Amino acid sequence: MNPQPFKNICIIPMKKKLLTLAAALLGAGLIALWTVRAAGAEKPAASPRPSLTVSTVQTERASLPVALSANGTIAAWQEAVVGAESNGWRLSEVKVNVGDVVRRGQVLASFVVEMAQADLAQTRAAVAEAEANLAEATANAQRARELQNSGALSEQQINQYLTAERTARARLEAQNAAAKVQQLRLAQTQVLAPDDGVISARTATVGAVVPAGQELFRLIRKGRLEWRAEVAASDLAAIKPGQSVRLVAGGGAPVTGVVRMVAPTVDTATRNGLVYVDLPAPGAAKAGMFARGDFEIGASNALTLPQTAVLLRDGFSWVFKLGADSKVAQVKVGVGRRVGERIEITSGLEPGAKVVASGGGFLADGDLVRVADAAAPAKAKP
């Protein structure tokens, strides 16, 4: 018997079964794919998440001062020079140093007093001798007057006695004047402060023999300082005495001053004029410091924002303006005056525009944000 036909009969049913199974699996896969796609089509798309929660502010109109900027140097209002009044005396003591606050009449230094005391004693002795000579001459002149009509003395002798009296009186006055000079020289052995103030310089050295007129100390009178601002000639007309000035010196805290006077002349080389500004409370400012200040010459209305809302990028000022769809747009703005925590917006925004109050450095143009509700005010506890 030939086995080949039987073999073919067995293979054909198996192929049919495999084809049927493959077709069933393919159909099941297509059905599953269609089901997944249908489910995905029915499911709504997920909404984008906000990048940041922010608070917003609106541009506001405010009256800002109009300022005129200038540079200048802080100097002493008046500086007194204290020197030696007598010649050739030796300094025995120096009682103050640079920076000391002194009062009018306070002893700053002392000279050796022995020579002055000896000269004064000698002069007083001469005064006593002159007084004795005057007493004798006065007695002789009185006797001559009594005997003038008796003929006991000649007219010449009487005139001699009267002249001797006048001469003795003149010598006494001369000796009294000399005594006053010596008393003055003795007083000059002490160097006194001519006014209240602060010692700004000292050249006095113990043991030095100084000539008359040599400088020993410099004194800032009353401790008063002033700012000498250099202002262009075209701007001098806007500055008036009494105007307020705000300046900063040496990176310290701002100092407030008042315009005292405007110089009557202008430097022909720089075409700048000096404006003298009194500093009633100079604080950390020192004479010789460079300072920059602003003169408040008026006020004007301006559009403002808090300084925290303005971001500096690539040398320009930007804000993030809030749109109706809660997305922010990066807007370039122009800025002007700064007063306190507010800054003037000169261009780029309209009045009432809403911008991000702070945190702009974490945002990009077109970001979606969540606007935080203003916190309700806390109720006062009973």
Q: Name the β-bridge partners of 147.
A: none
Q: Is the pLDDT of residue 375 over 50?
A: no
pLDDT of residue 169: 92
Residue 37: Cβ within 10 Å count: 10
b/e per residue, 288-322, with b = 16+ CB within 10 A? ebebebbbeeeeeebbbbeeebbbeeeeebbbbbb
Q: Is the pLDDT of residue 379 over 50?
A: no
Which tens digit of pLDDT belongs to each residue from 158-198?
Answer: 888 889 989 999 999 999 999 998 888 888 889 999 999 99
> What gap in Å lies between CA 262 and CA 273, rounded to an integer?
8
pLDDT of residue 198: 94
Q: Is the pLDDT of residue 14 over 80?
A: no
Start-end of CATH 1.10.287.470 domains in the chain: 79-210
Q: Where is pLDDT greater, at 40 or 358? A: 358
Q: 53-67+301-371: what CATH class?
A: mainly beta
Task: Please state the CATH superfamily assignment of the domain spanning residues 79-210 in this structure.
Answer: Helix hairpin bin (1.10.287.470)
Q: Is the pLDDT of residue 22 over 50?
A: yes
Query: How distant, in Å, are the alpha carbons of 23, 111, 200, 316, 348 from that of 360?
Result: 61, 71, 50, 14, 17
pLDDT of residue 205: 92
Q: In this structure, is the dihedral angle defined by the CA atoms of residues 358, 330, 304 and 66, taken in order, positive or negative? A: positive
Confidence of residue 23 (pLDDT cuts 50, 70, 90): low
Which tens digit of pLDDT belongs to each residue from 200-213?
Answer: 999 999 999 989 88
Confidence of residue 245 (pLDDT cuts 50, 70, 90): very high
Mean pLDDT of the chain: 83
Backbone angles phi, psi at 257, to 5 degrees: -130, 175
> What gap in Å lies between CA 28 and CA 34, rounded to an integer?
10
Q: Is the pLDDT of residue 34 over 60?
A: no
pLDDT of residue 170: 94
E strand map for 174-281: 190-192, 197-202, 209-210, 215-221, 225-232, 244-249, 255-266, 272-279
Q: Is the pLDDT of residue 33 over 70?
A: no
Instruction: State the distance between the two ends of the chain, measured CA to CA, in whole angstroms.
Output: 116
CA 271 from centre of chain: 26
> What gap in Å lies between CA 338 and CA 308, rounded to an integer?
12
Which tens digit of pLDDT belongs to each residue from 318-359?
Answer: 999 988 888 888 899 999 888 888 899 999 888 888 899 888
Residue 375: Cβ within 10 Å count: 7
Q: Which residues contact 79 (CB under 8 A, 6 or more apart)?
A: 200, 218, 219, 220, 221
Query: How distant, in Å, are the alpha carbons of 97, 122, 232, 237, 273 from that of 262?
Result: 34, 57, 12, 9, 8
Start-end of CATH 2.40.30.170 domains in the chain: 223-288
Start-end of CATH 2.40.420.20 domains in the chain: 53-67+301-371
pLDDT of residue 376: 37
Q: Is 122:109 a contact under the CB 8 Å cutoff?
A: no
Q: Is the pLDDT of residue 6 over 50?
A: no
Q: Name the β-bridge partners of 301.
A: 63
pLDDT of residue 102: 95
Q: DSSP character for 305?
A: E
Range name among 8-12, 76-80, 116-120, 365-369 with the lowest pLDDT average: 8-12
Query: How distant, in Å, are the alpha carbons of 238, 240, 267, 292, 319 from that of 275?
Result: 12, 9, 12, 13, 39
The residue among 318, 321, 344 whose CA lies nearest residue 332 is 318
Query: How distant, in Å, are the alpha carbons of 80, 84, 219 from that of 187?
Result: 20, 12, 21
Specify the CATH number of the domain 223-288.
Answer: 2.40.30.170
348: alpha, beta or left? (left if phi > 0; alpha if psi -120 to 50): left
Question: What count of Cα atoms within 13 Å lies in the side-chain half-sphere of residue 365?
Answer: 5
DSSP string, 111-137: E--HHHHHHHHHHHHHHHHHHHHHHHH
pLDDT of residue 94: 94
Q: DSSP character for 368?
A: B
Q: Is the pLDDT of residue 7 over 60?
A: no
Residue in the block written with tokens 């969540």: 370
b/e per residue, 164-195, with b = 16+ CB within 10 A? bbeebeebbeebbebbeebeebbebbbbebbe
Q: Is the pLDDT of residue 49 over 60?
A: yes
